[in-house]
Structure 1
Amino acid sequence: MSENRSFWFRLLVLSPVAFVLLFNSCSCERPPRVDHIEVDINLIPFYEDLFSINPDSFHLELDRLKKTYGKYLEAYSLGVIGAGHPDDSDYVENMRFFLDYEPNQEVLDTVRHVFHDKDALKRELTKAFQYYLYYFPDEPVPDIYLHISGFNQNMVVDSTWLSISVEQYLGADCIFYEWLSVPMYLRRTKATEKVVPDVMKAIAMSRYLYNDSIDDLANQMIYNGKLLWFVKHMVPDIPDTLLFDFSKEEMAWVKGFEKDMWAVVVEQKHLFSTDRMTLQRYIGKSPFTFFFGQDSPGRTGHYIGYRIIQSFMRRNPDVTLRELMEMDNGHEIFAAARYRP
């Protein structure tokens, strides 16, 4: 029996109750109290300063920008928008074009509407970093910049700062994403509520790199599960749908069929597979998971990885979050988790 037919056969013999499961939270333990932890978030709306400049007068403002933003301006100009180094001879002309480009002006208007309450964003970031300092008291809190990138990468991370492409978080129904042909299943990742979770995930990814010397499905699932576990600790009240980027129906589906998903992984001997296509079908962005049929959401490997981490932490309550994040051998975590959905 083929892998897909085998899976669907198991679905057919399941009770219909599986389709109406209540949404039990994938939460970790009760979050600690962190109100006493002092955090001073330096939230810098760089895009406001940049786009306040008249394009034809940019050359008059360049020295000020260099003095104010230093290495950040270089990183933004070179790596984010590709305008070149601020000392290049064609830099002023490239920036004049970027600022004068009409679509960027349309994006700016929408960004200003969606992110009009920066105090609210700062409060949310402050709360997340209070949890961060609770678990990682010796870690520095980066400066947080807000920029417009032309719909490039969501986050840019350096050793002392992190920068957010605000136009990537304008809400799932924003017309720009339709114009850009962003698939519907990816538009939910564009919710404004994703900013803070994505900030914390970016920090985790920059601090705790993936160990690609063990690049199989088990290691990838567990690494992504650790990132989600980290985010859940930084934003404890995050809904499961937002954490996993699933709809309510998809969330119910993975919870109802977790045991069956795991059976397919084991029966097909995929757990320790290093085949790139197999890994992509479990881990990569997609409307559904190939091996589980079209009713499944994509990236179910992230969900399974989170559940493995949850099992590991329940069986090893003395392991701290820092210790978990520093463990880079997914096979060791998997063996100790004794995951049995």
Structure 2
Amino acid sequence: MNRLLIIFLAIVLWQCGKTVEEKQAVPKIKWDMLRLDRVLAEAKSAEAIDSILKKYPEIGIGYFSCPPEKTAFLAKDLYQLYQNPSLQAFYKQSQDTAFFGGDRLEKELKTAFERIQSEFPGLRTPKIRTVFSGFGGVGGEFTAQHLQVSDSLIVIGLDFFMGKNGKFLPPNVYDYQLRRLEPKALVGQVILQYSAFINRQNEEDHSLLSDMIWYGKGFVFTKKILPELPDSLLFGYTNQELAETNAFQKQVWEHFIDKKLLFTKEELTKNKYLGERPKTPEIGPACPGSIGRWLGWRIVDLYWQQNPKLTLSKLMTDPDYNQLFLKSGYRGEPDKE
């Protein structure tokens, strides 16, 4: 019995020690996130909104591009907007979702930036603000966007991330773009855009291959920080497009080689393979758009897998895309089943 008691106590102490160690492994970050969508929606007057905008100029000036002398006009427009029954119903729909209604969004963002901090110790965590403005529907004088990301501030337009089931759809957004505007895609798109401030590139060589690998590093970064994020929400491809693109990537790669595209710097040509398009007809009618970004991810991901001791920091801050490409050994081979 004494021996069993000693073993039991040893297991308990080991589990306690493991819990403490795991807690210590989570880096501390300076966390500053405000759900200003809720604060603005609950304001009782235009004057109250004006006070909020003056307290948080990153919203009025930064997000809505409103000069300080026009803040009162923006406040009045926003207040009238929040009294609109259609916007109220749209906003209520967002708050009724599991992702935006509770604290899930904040928890996922905080976890992501804690993971970033563990990979990049000492890196400043940006402030985060959320807004809901009916796509900036305030008379056309002021603008709004789905995301505004810098290394010090992130502003999220939650109304843009209600996806295809939202009561209203963002203007000038097509079906293929909506896949990246689902609520569950939001954190991935934030981290992907944030990666641009860590991702180093040779500024003297913006060839197609250099840009492809720059995008590829951003995707690898995002998948490392958010391993649970489905590829369909990260790339905006359907599951069928992902499967077919993987299966036929040899033909995609041969197109880039046969057309001698990798080292072109001609912007119109680069935009055909990197820009926002529903398809890439130059390769085939079923080839999805932005195929060069996806192909860049394949190259970088292969290199990443072949170098298990490589840190994410080293990958992101090394601007030598040519060496990365050569060492990857990528030749268009699809994943094996």
- Give distance in 1, aligned partners of 2:270 and 2:155: 30
2:73 equivalent in structure 1? 93
**Structure 1 portions without partners, runs of 5+:** 1-32
Q: CA shift at 1:201, angstroms?
A: 1.4
- Give distance in 1, aligned partners of 2:243 and 2:33: 37
1:9 equivalent in structure 2? none
In the comparison of the two structures, how many residue pairs are matched?
298
Residue 294 (structure 1) aligned with residue 271 (structure 2): no
Residue 126 (structure 1) aligned with residue 110 (structure 2): yes
The answer to whether the Cα contact below 8 Å between 1:34 and 1:131 also exists between their aligned partners in 2 is no
**Structure 2 portions without partners, runs of 5+:** 1-20, 136-143
Q: Residue 84 of structure 1: which of 47, 56, 67 is its match?
A: 67
The answer to whether the Cα contact below 8 Å between 1:81 and 1:149 also exists between their aligned partners in 2 is no
Mean alpha-carbon deviation: is it higher for 149-158 or for 118-127? 149-158
TM-score (norm 2): 0.80
Matches within 5 A, 1:59-78: 59=47, 62-63=50-51, 66=54, 69=55, 73-78=56-61
Deviations 1:184-205 (A, max 9, x none): 1111111111111112112211
2:188 equivalent in structure 1? 197
1:170 equivalent in structure 2? 162
User: Higher relative contact order by CA 8 Å / sep ≥ 6: 1 or 2?
Assistant: 1
Detail structure 1 runs of 4+ shifted over 6 Å in the superposition: none
- Give distance in 2, aligned partners of 1:196 and 1:185: 18
Q: CA shift at 1:335, angstroms?
A: 2.3
Residue 37 (structure 1) aligned with residue 35 (structure 2): no
The answer to whether the Cα contact below 8 Å between 2:90 and 2:166 also exists between their aligned partners in 1 is no
Residue 109 (structure 1) aligned with residue 100 (structure 2): no
Amino acid at match of 2:152: T
1:248 equivalent in structure 2? 239
- Give distance in 2, aligned partners of 1:300 and 1:224: 11
1:143 equivalent in structure 2? 127
Amino acid at match of 2:73: E
- Give distance in 2, aligned partners of 1:189 and 1:60: 34
The answer to whether the Cα contact below 8 Å between 1:34 and 1:130 also exists between their aligned partners in 2 is no
The answer to whether the Cα contact below 8 Å between 2:199 and 2:217 also exists between their aligned partners in 1 is no
Q: 1:239 to 1:284 in 2, by over 3 A?
A: same
Mean alpha-carbon deviation: is it higher for 75-84 or for 223-232? 75-84
What's the C-alpha RMSD, in Å, of the aligned pairs? 2.5
Q: CA shift at 1:153, angstroms?
A: 2.7
Amino acid at match of 2:204: S
Mean alpha-carbon deviation: is it higher for 268-277 or for 112-121? 112-121
Q: CA shift at 1:212, angstroms?
A: 4.2
Q: CA shift at 1:245, angstroms?
A: 1.3
Q: CA shift at 1:159, angstroms?
A: 4.2
Q: 1:42 to 1:212 in 2, by over 3 A?
A: same
Matches within 5 A, 1:16-27: none
Amino acid at match of 1:37: V
Amino acid at match of 2:132: I
Deviations 1:41-94 (A, max 9, x none): 44311121123223xx3335644653xx4xxx3232123223321xx1x42123
Q: 1:175 to 1:140 in 2, by over 3 A?
A: same
Deviations 1:82-126 (A, max 9, x none): 3321xx1x4212320132133654543333233543322222223
- Give distance in 1, aligned partners of 2:119 and 2:233: 22
- Give distance in 2, aligned partners of 1:100 and 1:240: 40
1:157 equivalent in structure 2? 149
The answer to whether the Cα contact below 8 Å between 2:147 and 2:157 also exists between their aligned partners in 1 is yes
Mean alpha-carbon deviation: is it higher for 148-157 or for 319-328? 148-157
The answer to whether the Cα contact below 8 Å between 2:130 and 2:157 also exists between their aligned partners in 1 is yes
The answer to whether the Cα contact below 8 Å between 1:250 and 1:297 also exists between their aligned partners in 2 is yes
2:130 aligned counterpart, secondary structure: strand
Amino acid at match of 1:170: M
- Give distance in 2, aligned partners of 1:34 and 1:226: 28
